[in-house]
Structure 1
Amino acid sequence: MTTLLDKAKIKQSFGAAAARYDGVAQLQRAVGKDLLDFAGSVRLSGTILDLGCGTGFLTGELWSRQSETETIIALDLAYTMLQMTRCKLSPSIPDRNQRKLACLCADAESLPVADHSLDGLFSNLALQWCNSFEKVLYDFKRILKPGSPLVFSTFGADTLRELKSAWASVDAYSHVNEFHDPSEIRRLLEQAGFTDLKIASRLHLSHYESVHALMKELKQIGAHNVNSGRNRRFTTKAQMQGMIKAYEPYRVEGRIPASFEIIQVAARG
C-alpha cells in the first residue's frame, strides 16, 4: 500500500530540530561535501536554488565555491531553518555587487518559482521527503533554463535496512520511510526530460552505542518516521524492547550499525 508523508509533521519536526541541527547533522554535512565534489565538473553560475537548505551550511559552501553565482536562493519547508540560514550567512553574503542571498519558505512539491528562471538547482538529502518524486522532477524541469544543471543527493532503498528488519520482527506497520532505488530515479529523470545523467550510489555506514542513540539522532535531525500510513497507536514498551532485541545481532565490536544508501545525481534540464 502506498502511504503518504505527513508534510505538517515534517515541517514541525525540522522546525523543532533547527536549533540543534548543526550539532548532530554529521551525515548531512558529509554527504553534502561529497555531493559538492561529485558536482565539481558541473558549472553552477547565475541564479542557483539550494532546495532543502536546512541551516545553510551547503548554501554557504555553494556561495564560496561558485564565484560566478549572482543569486543564491535558500529554500526550506521549515521557517526556523531559514532564519538560521539568514543569520549565519548574511554577514558573509552582503547584497552588493549584484550578488544576493534570498530565503524562500516553500514546499518542494509546490514551488513558487517562475518557468525557466533558474540557472541551476542543488539539493542535498531533501527530496526523499516528497510524496511524488515524479511530480517534483517535472517541476524542476519547468523552473530550470534549458540545459541547466540539476545536482542532488537522496537516500536509496537500502537506507536503514537494519532498522527495517528489526521492526519487521515486531509488527507489520511501517516504522521507516521508503526510498527509491537508482534505477527508478534514472527512469523518472528520463521521463521528465533530463539528459546527461550521472548517477552514483554508495553505502554509508554509521555506528552508534545503542539503538536508542540511533533513534535519538534520527529524531534530532528530523528524519524519524513521518509517514501518514504508520501505526497510529503508541509504540508499547514491549514492542520497542522487541525491536531492540532483534537489532542486537547486528552489533559489531560493541556498536550497532545503521546503513544509509546515498544516491548522487547530476543531470541537465
Structure 2
Amino acid sequence: MPLDKAKIKQSFAAAAVTYDGVAALQRIVGRALLGTIDTEKLAGTLLDLGCGTGFLTSELLGFAQPIVALDIALPMLQLTRTKLADTPNVSYLCADAEQLPLAGQVVDGVFSNLALQWCINLEAVFIDIKRVMKPGGRLVFSTFGPQTLQELKAAWADVDDYQHVNDFYSEQQLTRFLQLAGYTEIKIETKLYISNYGSVLALMKELKHIGAHNMIVGRNKNITTKTQMQRMIATYERHRTDDRVPATYEVIMVAAS
C-alpha cells in the first residue's frame, strides 16, 4: 500500500503525549491478543514490535523477560522507557519494523499490537521477522482489517474521489503473505469492535490524538473546505443511533510459526 513512512513516523511522534488518553481500543485488543495464546509457554527474549507507549510491553513483562521494545517514533519509545524505568530487563530500539536492526535468531517470539498495518511490504516484514526469531519462534500480532472505519470511508466517498481513509489488508491477504514468507502454522481470528462517539468530529479528533492520520502517498494535498467537511459529516450522521455515531474497527489477530 502507498503509505508515507516519514508521515507515519511524524504523526506517531506528535501523538505520543495524547496517545494514552484515547487508546482504549488498543488496550482492549492488546489484552485480547494475549488471551489468544498460552501465556504459560512464553519464555525467552520477546520483541514488542511497534511498542507505542509500552502497554503491551508492560503486559508481556508479566509473562517473560527480557523484552526488546521497538518503535519507529522516538517520543513513543521514550515514554515506554520512562514508564518502565524500574524494569531492568527491557532494551529499547528506535527503528522501522521494515528494517529490523537485529541479528538472526536472537528472539524467541515476536508480538505486535495494532502496528503492522503501517508497514508497506508485509511479506518482506514477515520474512525478516522469521530471520530474527529462533527456530520454533512464534509471531503473534493484531492488525486492522478492511472494514475498519467503513462509515468514515463511505462518508468521504460522498464528497470526492480522493482516498481519505487508509486501506487495510484482509484475512486472505495476510494468510498469503505469511505463507509466502515461509510460515506453515497460521491461526487467524477476526472480530468487529464498534466504538461510539458523540460526534463525527470527536472521532476525527481521537484518530489525530492516536496518530492514526491518513498517511497515503498521493492523497489530496488541498485543504478540505468547510463545505466539504459539513457534507461528509452530514453523510456520516445517517449512522447516528441513540445520540451516538458508531465507528467500526475490524481487528484481525494472528499467530504464526
- Tell me the alpha carbon deviations over residues 28-58 of structure 1, each in whole angstroms, 9 at most, x when there is no partner: 1111010011123673211110001011111
Equivalent in the alignment of 1:65: 63
Equivalent in the alignment of 1:81: 76
Count of aligned pairs: 257
- Report if the CA contact (8 A) 2:40-2:63 is conserved: no
Equivalent in the alignment of 2:34: 36
Q: 1:174 aligns with which of 145, 148, 163?
A: 163
Equivalent in the alignment of 2:116: 127
- Report if the CA contact (8 A) 1:42-1:149 is conserved: no
1:147 Cα offset (Å)? 1.4
Establish whether residue 218 from structure 1 lines up as the match of residue 207 from structure 2. Answer: yes
1:65 Cα offset (Å)? 2.4
Identity %: 58
Q: 2:13 aligns with which of 15, 24, 31?
A: 15
- Report if the CA contact (8 A) 2:112-2:142 is conserved: yes
- Cα separation, 2, equivalents of 1:110 and 1:216: 31
- Cα separation, 1, equivalents of 2:47 and 2:62: 15
Flag as ranges the 4+ runs of structure 1 deviating above 6 A. Answer: none
Equivalent in the alignment of 1:107: 96
SS in 2 for 1:195: coil
- Report if the CA contact (8 A) 1:90-1:101 is conserved: no
- Report if the CA contact (8 A) 2:42-2:63 is conserved: no
Equivalent in the alignment of 1:136: 125
Letter in 1 for 2:155: A
Question: Which aligned pairs between 1:196-215 and structure 2 lie closer than 5 A?
Answer: 196-215=185-204
So what's the TM-score if we normalise by structure 2? 0.97
- Report if the CA contact (8 A) 2:4-2:216 is conserved: yes
- Cα separation, 1, equivalents of 2:184 and 2:111: 16
Structure 2 unaligned segments of length 5 or more: list them: none
- Cα separation, 1, equivalents of 2:97 and 2:218: 21
- Cα separation, 2, equivalents of 1:129 and 1:235: 24
- Cα separation, 2, equivalents of 1:53 and 1:123: 7
CA 1:101–1:143: 2 relative to 1, 3 Å:
same
- Cα separation, 2, equivalents of 1:254 and 1:86: 40
Establish whether residue 117 from structure 1 lines up as the match of residue 127 from structure 2. Answer: no
Equivalent in the alignment of 2:181: 192
Letter in 1 for 2:29: V
Moved more, 150-159 or 185-194: 185-194
1:249 Cα offset (Å)? 0.9
- Tell me the alpha carbon deviations over residues 49-73 of structure 1, each in whole angstroms, 9 at most, x when there is no partner: 000101111101100123xx2x200
